[in-house]
Amino acid sequence: MQSDTVFYVKSHFGGGPAFLQVGHFAERIVTVPQYDLGAMLDRPVPPAGILLTMHADQVHLQRLAPLLERYVDGGGTVVVNGHVARPYLTELTPFVPVARQRPADLQLARVTNHPVFTRIDPADLQSRKGVYGFYGRGANPPPKGATVIHELVGERAPVDWSVRRSTGGRVFSHAGNDLWGVAERPETTARLMAQLLDWVLAP
Amino acid sequence: MNRIAAIDGGTAYHHEALHTERFGRYFDDIVYVLDLHAARFSDYDAIVVTCRTNPALLAPYAARFRHYLADGGMIVAMGETFPEHWLPGMRWRPRPTNYWWWLDPNARSGLTVAAPDHSLFRFLTLADATWHFHGLFTPPEGAVSLIDHEDGGSILYDDRVSTAGRMVVTALDPFYHHGSRFMPNATKFLDGFLPWLRAEVAAR
């Protein structure tokens, strides 16, 4: 039994991203300071999902690994942003950068349709002001059985993937800057975040 | 003694910048921020607080940092560590960061070398310190600004007067950018800055 709340795990100093203030998200997403996550997960009713940022303290997450494993085993969803340096879930292995990082190499290709990206053109995500690389410069290698969603075309690096455990829990990995900060247009970010939240809430 | 510690905020970019050979070799110890209570500051000639280490985790050590400086220690405070929360005498004003200035063909960074004779500039150039920054410091009287911004204020200064020790304070965040694997100038900055720091510590 899970709540219909999602935790935004705040690992950085200062305010959170703007989308958290918008009505639909403000109702569903609770900001939890990273160092309170252990206590917050160790409650009878866990959240439906947890959103981790590129600024997550992974030494700390590794120390929480048994709790995180139990959370996903129990049906929870973890959304990972950024590079994995110190794996804290069995599905994660350290980030591998692509060797060639010219704009042509960093273009984004959709491999599998996924509800998080419905009606979002990869071209709306792959660059900002003509600069490539914010979306991803490599991949957190996917585990066996993962669905690859997006690749960086140069080396076909699986920059986005998701996987489901037999127990129902899910891990979603985006190996780049936080998903709420990569799109040029605010409409794209709003759609992406709404679809991400729906996906997390609908196991 | 000749020993330098880096404080590690535990993120992927700290890992990449501190726990790989390229820059890890400049440090004698890497101290994870949640284990800071167990570190003896007096074991080190210099402590580098790397970019974006959460100041809320450093603030409880403000008194310990002050004592360390009073005993002659050296602290390097990197960008986005908000040292006004944990170092004495900081005067800082944030400003909106223009990440895009370099896309304009006529762009100027607004940065100038303020102390060309400073030893750091034997190790790096202004170009190596030029990407973007997150605010401006007003160094205290007697401290030396190394790089000024045309709007007034410093993005890198060296303070050997406010305490018996030394504080090198910057609004640049090279460990973050190097560790995130973009912004080649951030890597060049560390290629110069860390050998300089080792030389300074060795010369004491």
List B4's β-bridge partners, or say none.
B46
Residue of B112 and A1 predicted with greater confidence: B112
Kindly tell me if the per-residue pLDDT of A3 is higher than 90.
no
Interface test with A, best of B7, B8, B11 (most A CBs within 10 A): B11
Domain range spanning residue B62?
4-203
Residue in B52, B80, B181 closest to A97 by CB:
B181
Instruction: Note the pLDDT of residue B133.
Output: 85
Chain B residues lying within 8 Å of A85, measured CB to CB? 11-12, 15-16
Interface test with A, best of B54, B84, B100, B132 (most A CBs within 10 A): B54
Tokens of B122: 């034997």
Task: Please answer yes or no on whether A83 and B13 come within 8 Å at the CB atom.
Answer: yes
Kindly tell me if the per-residue pLDDT of B170 is higher than 80.
yes
**Residues of A (7-46) whose Cβ lies below 8 Å from B:** 11-13, 35
Q: Which of B204, B142, B137, B129 is nearest to B173 (CA)?
A: B129
Instruction: Note the pLDDT of residue A1.
Output: 63
pLDDT tens digits, one per residue of A129-180: 888 889 999 999 999 999 999 999 999 999 999 999 999 999 999 999 999 9
Nearest-Cα residue of chain A relative to residue B56: A13
Segment holding B146, helix H or strand E:
strand B144-149
pLDDT tens digits, one per residue of A14-49: 889 988 988 889 999 999 999 999 999 988 899 999
List B5's β-bridge partners, or say none.
B29, B47
Nearest-Cα residue of chain A relative to residue B11: A57
Task: Please answer yes or no on whether A85 and B15 come within 8 Å at the CB atom.
Answer: yes
The pair phi, psi for residue B169, each rounded to 5°, is -125, 135
User: Buried b vs exposed e over B91-121: b needs ≥16 C-beta within 10 Å?
Assistant: eeeeeeeeeeeeeeeeeebebebbbeebebb
Q: Which CATH number fits the domain that encloses residue B24?
A: 3.40.50.880
Average pLDDT of chain A is 95
**Rounded-to-integer distance, Cα B200 and Cα B194, Å:** 10
Instruction: List the domains of chain A with CATH numbers.
Output: 6-201 (3.40.50.880)
Tokens of B70: 């009073």
pTM for this one?
A: 0.96
Residue of B105 and B86 predicted with greater confidence: B86
Q: Measured between alpha carbons, how far is residue A60 from residues A34, B8, B35 in Å?
A: 9, 12, 11
Question: Binning pLDDT at 50, 70 and 90, where does residue A203 land?
Answer: confident
**Rounded-to-integer distance, Cα B77 and Cα B83, Å:** 7
ipTM over 0.90: yes
Nearest-Cα residue of chain B relative to residue A102: B182
Q: Is A110 on the interface with B (CB under 8 A)?
A: no
User: Buried b vs exposed e over B178-194: b needs ≥16 C-beta within 10 Å?
Assistant: bbbbbbebbbbbbbbbb
Nearest-Cα residue of chain B relative to residue A34: B54
Query: Once rounded to an integer, what is the mean pLDDT over residues B158-167?
Result: 98
Chain A residues lying within 8 Å of B99, measured CB to CB? none
Total number of domains constituting chain B = 1
Chain B residues lying within 8 Å of A95, measured CB to CB? 12
Task: Please answer yes or no on whether B11 and A56 come within 8 Å at the CB atom.
Answer: yes
The minimum CA-CA distance between B116 and chain A, rounded to whole Å, is 33
Query: Once rounded to an integer, what is the mean pLDDT over residues B40-68?
Result: 98
Chain B residues lying within 8 Å of A15, measured CB to CB? none
